[in-house]
Amino acid sequence: MSLFTSTAAGERQRRLFSGLLTVLALAGACLLSDPSQAATRNLDTAYGPVQVPNEPLRVITLDEGALDTALAAGIQPVGSVAARGGTDLPTYLQSVAGDIPIVGVTREPNLEAILSQRPDLILAPPGLEKRVYDVLSKIAPTVVSDVSTTAPWAERNALYAAALNKEDDIAARIAVIQARIASLRERIPAGQTYSVVRWMPQGPMAMSEKLIAGQILTALGLKSTDVAASLGERPHSDILSLENLAGVDADWMFIATLNEQGDATLAAAQKQPAFNRLKAVRNDRAFPADGHVWSSATGVLAAERILDDVERILLK
C-alpha cells in the first residue's frame, strides 16, 4: 500500500518528500545533527521525549510563534517559514529578524532547504503531521507542541522557550507586558465592547475572544461580542455575509487582513451600505490592523505590538 493517497493532500506530500530522501542519502550522517556531541536536556513534546541541546546555535522555526519567541529571546534563527498568505516573514517581525532564509510555509516546509541550514534544533508547529515529523527529526531534534490555539497567550509558546533554554528571558518579558496591561486598564473606560474581524478574499470572519488579541483586550477591561464569545475552541467563525455583520459590531472594531486580496475585498466592502451602517464605522472606531498580529500571532513581540496599537487607537 502506498504511503501517499491520490488526493490533493497526497500530491502535496509527494512534492514535500520528492527530493528529500535522495538528499538525505547523499548528505550522509556527517550532515545530521548529533545531540550527543554537546550537553543536552530532555523535553516532553507532542511526539514524546526529545533530547535538545542546552545551547542551540542553529535554530529553524517552522511556526510564527516559534520565530516570535526566538527573536524575543535574542536568538536569530537560521531559517523560518513565510507568514500565512505571504512569501516573507511576518511584517511585524521583519525589523527584528533581519535576513533570515525562508524554508517554506507552515503547512509545507521545504525539507531540502531546512537540511541545507544544518540546524541543531527545529521548532515545529502544533499539529505537524507525524510523517513530516519523522523526517525532520532525522535532520535535527524537532520540538512539536500540543498546546491549543486558544491556550493563554503567555503559555502558548512555553515549550519553544524551554527548547531554547530561554524560559527566564521570556518570563521577564511577559511580566513587563502584564504590568503594562494593568497600567493601561486603569486608563481605558470600562464597559466598552470590541470585535476582531479577519477580512479574507472570501469575506469576513469573527475571531475568537480566546486568541491573543481577544485575551489581551479582555484583560484590558473590554468585552467581546457574543459571536466571538460563542466560538468555544474554534479560532474563528465561518465566513459572514455583509448582512450578518451586525453580529460583530462593537464600540471598537479591529479589521485584520493578511494579504492584498483581503485589502481589496475590504475596500469593496467599505462601499456597501451594510458595512457603513455599523456603529464602529459610523463613529470612526473601525481600524485596520496587521492580520498576522491580530488574528494569528502568538508571541511576546505580538503582544507588545497589540498593546502599542491599543494605546495608539484607544487612548489617542
In Å, how far from its chain's centre is CA 11?
26
Strands (E), the chain: 40-45, 48-53, 59-61, 79-82, 102-105, 108-109, 121-124, 142-144, 193-200, 203-206, 223-224, 252-257, 286-290
pLDDT of residue 13: 55
Residue 313 has pLDDT above 90, yes or no: yes
Question: CB atoms < 10 A from the CB of 36, how many?
Answer: 7
Above 70 in pLDDT, residue 38?
A: no
Tens digit of each residue's pLDDT (9 = 90 or more) over 255-304: 988 776 667 777 877 888 888 899 999 999 988 888 889 988 899 999 99
Q: What angle do CA 252, 258, 260 make, to 5 degrees?
A: 110
pTM for the full model?
Answer: 0.87
CB 166, CB 75: distance < 8 Å: yes
Q: Extract the C-alpha cell encoding 24.
A: 538525505
Contact 227, 246 (CB under 8 A): no
pLDDT in tens, 124-181: 999 999 999 999 999 999 999 999 988 999 999 999 999 999 999 999 999 999 999 9
Query: Which residue is it, cell 547523499?
Result: 26
Q: What is the pLDDT of residues 93-118, one digit of tens each?
A: 999 998 999 999 888 899 999 999 99
Q: Which long-range contacts (CB under 8 A, 24 or more apart) does 260-266 make?
A: 261/200, 261/201, 262/85, 262/198, 262/199, 262/200, 262/201, 262/291, 264/201, 265/199, 265/200, 265/201, 265/202, 265/203, 266/199
User: Which region holds residue 74: left if phi is over 0, alpha if psi is between -120 and 50, else beta?
Assistant: left
Per-residue model confidence (pLDDT) at position 18: 56
Res. 25: pLDDT tops 60: no
Task: Report strand pairing: 203-206 vs 121-124.
Answer: unpaired
Q: Give residue 2's pLDDT band: very low, low, confident or very high (50, 70, 90).
A: very low
- Residue 208 in grid coordinates: 475568537
Residue the block writes with cell 498546546? 147
Question: Which pairing describes strands 252-257 and 203-206: parallel, antiparallel, or unpaired?
Answer: unpaired
Burial class (CB in 10 A: 0-12, 13-18, 19+), 297: buried
The domains of the chain, with CATH numbers, are: 15-165 (3.40.50.1980), 187-314 (3.40.50.1980)
**Which segment of 30-44, 63-77, 232-246, 301-315 scores lowest on mean pLDDT?**
30-44
Mean pLDDT of the chain: 87
Question: What span, in angstroms and rounded, lies between the C-alpha atoms of 272 and 157?
Answer: 40
Report the interhelical angle of 64-72 vs 300-314 (nearest 10°): 90
